[in-house]
Structure 1
Amino acid sequence: MKKIDHSQLKATPEAEDFAGKYEDTSAISKYLVDSYFKAVQRLIAKANNITNAHEIGSGEGRSTMRLNKMVPNLTASEYVDDLVTLAKKNNPENTVFQESVYNLEYGNDSVDLVFLLEVLEHLDYPEAALEEIKRVSKKYLILGVPREPIWCFLNMCRLKYLKDFGNTPGHLNHWSKKGLIKQIEAKFGKVIAVESPLPWTIVLAEKRA
């Protein structure tokens, strides 16, 4: 796996603020977020014999709060210092710690299910991240990203980020549903289920031996 210079990995300030979608109390925003996690729950139901799970890139820990109700023995991690503090505060019942997705703390084949939700699009080295996740995952990965070009189009409809053609600050990578499946199957394993809650793609993949 390519050696990663961790000193170059700190996200931009725009990419570090993930709370907005959870704090937005509008009916549309609440519906979209609820639909997202219902899709995640349907994918979890297709995974067998889950005894522990780990969320990478938890941000402030809002997603961790939801996932904690869906899987047993959930731990979470985040790279940015301030967000680790907030994630711990929001999830006092869970083990939350700091780590880089390129250098995960867990040993080989030690986590039944790994979550990587709305993280891959922010990474400089997505393929290296998937290879490291494959190392620690015992069997499954649930991964979600914005679905392109729908994501950018909807941003432009909201008159957001027009000078960047709707691209959200901090999004370095863009995948269609087909492109995401191809990426995951190349670096992790077979995609066995896909959910498409607007405007995301979320997949359940099974690790290739």
Structure 2
Amino acid sequence: MNKIDHSKLRATPELEDFSGKYEDENFISKYLVESYFKSVQKLIDKIKPIRSAHEIGCGEGRSTKKLKKMVSSLTASEFVPKLVKKATLLNPELKIFEESVYDLKYENASVNLLFLLEVLEHLDHPETALEELQRVSGQYLILGVPREPLWRFLNLCRFKYLKDLGNTPGHLNHWSKRSIIKLIEKKFGEVIAVQSPLPWTIVLARKKA
């Protein structure tokens, strides 16, 4: 695995207000978020029972709050210290701690299911992150990313981020459904199911030997 200088990592999640999509009362926004997590639930249903699960890059813990209703043995982590505190306040019954996706604290093959939801597009080194996920995963990964170029096109339609051609602040990487599947199969394992709630791609993958 490539060595990462953690002191130089960009905390790109701070560039974007992740709470907005969960707090937005707009009908369309609520529908999109509900569709997203219904898709996650469909993927979880394919691999039950789940002995242990861990969410990486949980942000303020709003996604964690939804995931804990789907899996009983959930922990979570986040790279930005102030977000760890917020996530813990929102989910006081769960173990939530600070860690880098490039240097996970769990032992090799120790977590049955990993979640990486809307994180990979923010990373400077996505392939290195997937290698670390492959190390820690006991068997499965559920990973979600914005579906490109649809994501940027929809931003332009609502007149957002026009000077950046619709690219959301902090999004360093962009994948179509085909390209994210190719990357996951290269660095993690076999993709066994895919959900495509507008405007995301969510993948369930099984770790390669």
Query: Contact 1:15 / 1:122 at 8 angstroms: preserved in 2?
Result: no
Instruction: Tell me the SS of whatever aligns to 1:194.
Output: strand
Normalising to structure 2: TM-score of the pair?
0.98
Q: Describe the superposition over 1:65-122 as per-residue Cα deviations: whole angstroms up to 9, x where unpaired.
A: 0000001210000000110000000000100000000000000010000000000000
Deviation at 1:14, TM superposition (A): 4.9
Query: Taking structure 1 as reference, are residues 144 and 44 closer, same or farther at Cα in structure 2, changes over 3 Å only?
Result: same
**Partner residue in 1 for 2:152:** 152
Q: Which amino acid aligns with 1:90?
A: L
Query: Contact 2:12 / 2:122 at 8 angstroms: preserved in 1?
Result: no
Q: Which 4+ stretches in 1 moved above 6 angstroms?
A: none
Deviation at 1:45, TM superposition (A): 0.5
**Partner residue in 2 for 1:86:** 86
Normalising to structure 1: TM-score of the pair?
0.98
How much is the aligned-residue C-alpha RMSD, in angstroms?
A: 1.0
Q: Which amino acid aligns with 1:200?
A: W
**Partner residue in 1 for 2:122:** 122
Query: Contact 1:21 / 1:33 at 8 angstroms: preserved in 2?
Result: yes
Query: Contact 1:99 / 1:105 at 8 angstroms: preserved in 2?
Result: yes
Identity in percent: 71
Query: Contact 2:16 / 2:169 at 8 angstroms: preserved in 1?
Result: no
Q: Which amino acid aligns with 2:151?
A: W
Q: Which amino acid aligns with 2:114?
A: V
Deviation at 1:17, TM superposition (A): 2.4
Q: 1:184-199, aligned counterparts within 5 Å?
A: 184-199=184-199
Q: Which amino acid aligns with 1:129?
A: A
How far apart in 1 are the matches of 2:140 and 2:27?
33
Instruction: Tell me the SS of whatever aligns to 2:2.
Output: coil
**Partner residue in 2 for 1:9:** 9
Structure 1 stretches lacking a partner, 5+ long: none
Deviation at 1:59, TM superposition (A): 0.2
Query: Contact 2:191 / 2:206 at 8 angstroms: preserved in 1?
Result: yes
Q: Describe the superposition over 1:130-152 as per-residue Cα deviations: whole angstroms up to 9, x where unpaired.
A: 00001000000000000000000
**Partner residue in 1 for 2:99:** 99
How far apart in 2 are the matches of 1:139 and 1:15?
32
**Partner residue in 1 for 2:63:** 63
Q: Which amino acid aligns with 1:159?
A: F
Deviation at 1:16, TM superposition (A): 4.6
**Partner residue in 2 for 1:109:** 109
Query: Contact 1:10 / 1:80 at 8 angstroms: preserved in 2?
Result: no
Query: Contact 1:58 / 1:76 at 8 angstroms: preserved in 2?
Result: yes
How far apart in 1 are the matches of 2:129 and 2:106?
14
* Pair 1:77-2:80 in alignment: no
Deviation at 1:13, TM superposition (A): 6.5
Structure 2 stretches lacking a partner, 5+ long: none
Instruction: Tell me the SS of whatever aligns to 1:151.
Output: helix
Query: Contact 1:148 / 1:174 at 8 angstroms: preserved in 2?
Result: yes
**Partner residue in 2 for 1:35:** 35
How far apart in 2 are the matches of 1:86 and 1:35?
25
How far apart in 2 are the matches of 1:38 and 1:54?
18
